[in-house]
């Protein structure tokens, strides 16, 4: 299943080396924008209230921009907020999406407001084509200002259409104690294309809409992952998968390249697209009843093209296991290695009776707390309704369903169910089912068990 190949949870380990440093009231050094191609370094290297960027939901960093016109200066606005902070800082970078090691355009120095530094060397602009970084200066940290801060940065795009540009930004919501303690670091990205570059031709056609895990029609619920089958969604040989650089304010995008999807008139997160398939996510507000989906090419442009609408039915719950081959459940061992039949999935290890195994599904409905569609949960959130799991004909005791809820680090529509396999389970492909709110997963789902 393509969705699980691309979006299974990742286990990230971060090694942080303590660094003694004064607070950078005149702007941080270069290379602090959390850019993967630059090593993923952010201001957490010095400000140590939290070990990672975006440590909580209290703070918020956003980038406001628009499609660029080659060579024409425009303004980028950064907004950082936090209810407890009283001093503020930022760093902003612009890179080519086609090669994120390459600088995109130039930033303008604004005395008393914006400083521009170059890498390597952390020297002042002009940077002559080297990577450059726009940052605050002492006056633009707004010492003592509560709730939030906003900066306007002048950016001149490249002189020619270079394709999409991605902005990386990091913000420091500081406590104004003059040191590097008690501060919180937030990171975000935004992508823009040259004005008028969405030129996909033709009109998209929807042939069917189904649950992305089990392939069942009219089996959808809030936040559920679904698949649209049809034609004309993307260039014939093209494939587009949403990645971190597509995220908008930390969420999956509602426009992926030149493609968008609407459910009941609302834009929804798009995860994957090729010429004949789209994977997307139902909105959080999708209530039980009838709805309709529309595929849009060149959204918002004068050449916008919309498919005919395709109707479907939303349920309160619509649980479905993701599988590797239509039957073998996409499962993991606690160390996140693949749990499965190695003759079907190279490198996989079967599950033994008594083992704990992680199963992945969609359609399990609201959680506590509720994450919005497109969000990437940073912590566990169990389902509001209890789940009942049966393996090999044995219904698990509640104590053997260790967790059922969102899968941290993945999109909010991907659920994780941690269970203990009954000791009595016989060798072979054990049938597995999950029931929640009166609805059950597909009957074909199995888990390979070997003693």
Beta strand ranges found along 346-386 (DSSP E): 356-362
Cβ-contact 45, 28 below 8 angstroms: no
Same domain, 140 and 177: yes
In a domain, 250, yes or no: yes
Nearest to 391 by CA among 423, 428, 430: 430
C-alpha 406/C-alpha 360 separation (Å) is 10
Residue 41, pLDDT score? 64
Q: List the CATH number of the domain containing 292.
A: 2.60.40.10
Same domain, 308 and 345: no
Cβ-contact 336, 408 below 8 angstroms: no
The total of structural domains in the chain comes to 3
Q: List the CATH number of the domain containing 414.
A: 2.60.40
Q: Running along the chain, 451 residues long, what does each successive block of 10 average in pLDDT? A: 35 24 53 68 54 76 86 92 92 91 94 91 88 93 92 94 89 84 86 76 94 95 97 75 80 90 96 94 95 93 91 96 93 94 87 97 97 95 97 97 96 98 96 97 95 87
Same domain, 132 and 172: yes
Same domain, 175 and 150: yes
Same domain, 157 and 284: no
In a domain, 198, yes or no: no
C-alpha 271/C-alpha 268 separation (Å) is 10
Residue 345, pLDDT score? 83
| pTM of the predicted structure, to 2 decimals | 0.64
Beta bridge partners of 228: 209, 278
What is the secondary structure of 288-321 as a DSSP string?
SEEEEEEEEESTTSTT-EEPPPEEEEE-S---EE
In a domain, 302, yes or no: yes
Supply the range of the domain harboring residue 363: 320-449
């Amino acid at each position: 299943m393509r969705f699980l190949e691309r979006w299974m949870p990742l286990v990230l380990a971060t090694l942080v080396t303590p660094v003694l440093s004064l607070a950078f009231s005149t702007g941080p050094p270069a290379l602090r924008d959390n850019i993967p191609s630059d090593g993923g370094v952010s201001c957490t290297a010095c400000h140590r209230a939290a070990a990672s960027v975006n440590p909580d939901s209290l703070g918020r960093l956003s980038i406001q921009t628009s499609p660029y016109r080659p060579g024409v200066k425009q303004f980028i606005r950064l907004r950082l907020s936090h209810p407890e902070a009283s001093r503020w800082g930022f760093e902003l970078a612009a890179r080519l999406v086609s090669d994120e090691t390459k600088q995109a355009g130039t930033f303008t120095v604004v005395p008393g407001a914006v400083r521009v530094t170059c890498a390597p060397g952390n020297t002042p602009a002009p940077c002559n084509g080297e990577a450059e970084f726009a940052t605050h200066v002492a006056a633009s940290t707004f010492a003592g200002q509560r709730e939030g801060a906003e900066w306007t940065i002048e950016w001149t795009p490249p002189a020619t259409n270079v394709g999409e540009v991605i902005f990386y930004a990091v913000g420091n919501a500081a406590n104004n104690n003059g040191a590097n303690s008690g501060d919180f670091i937030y990171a975000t990205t935004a992508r823009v294309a040259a004005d008028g570059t969405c030129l996909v031709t033709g009109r998209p056609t929807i042939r069917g809409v189904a649950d992305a895990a089990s392939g069942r029609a009219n089996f959808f619920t809030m936040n559920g992952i679904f698949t649209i089958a049809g034609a004309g969604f993307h260039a014939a040989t093209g494939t587009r998968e949403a990645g971190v650089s597509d995220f908008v304010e930390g969420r999956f995008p509602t426009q992926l390249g030149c493609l968008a999807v609407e459910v009941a008139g609302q834009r929804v997160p798009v995860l994957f697209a090729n010429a004949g398939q789209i994977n997307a996510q139902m909105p959080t507000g999708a209530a039980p009843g009838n709805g309709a989906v529309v595929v849009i090419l060149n959204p918002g442009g004068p050449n916008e093209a919309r498919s005919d609408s395709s109707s479907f039915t939303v349920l309160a719950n619509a649980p479905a296991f993701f599988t590797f081959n239509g039957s073998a459940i996409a499962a993991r061992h606690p160390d996140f290695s693949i749990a499965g039949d190695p003759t079907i999935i190279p490198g996989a290890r079967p599950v033994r009776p008594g083992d704990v195994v992680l199963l992945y599904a969609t359609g399990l409905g609201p959680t506590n707390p509720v994450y919005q569609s497109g969000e990437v949960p940073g912590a566990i959130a169990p389902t509001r309704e209890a789940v009942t799991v049966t393996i090999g004909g044995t219904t698990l005791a509640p104590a053997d369903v260790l967790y059922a809820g969102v899968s941290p680090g993945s999109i909010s529509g991907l659920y994780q169910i941690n269970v203990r396999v009954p000791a009595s389970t016989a060798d072979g492909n054990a049938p597995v089912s999950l029931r929640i709110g009166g609805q059950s997963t597909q009957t074909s789902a199995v888990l390979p068990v070997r003693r």
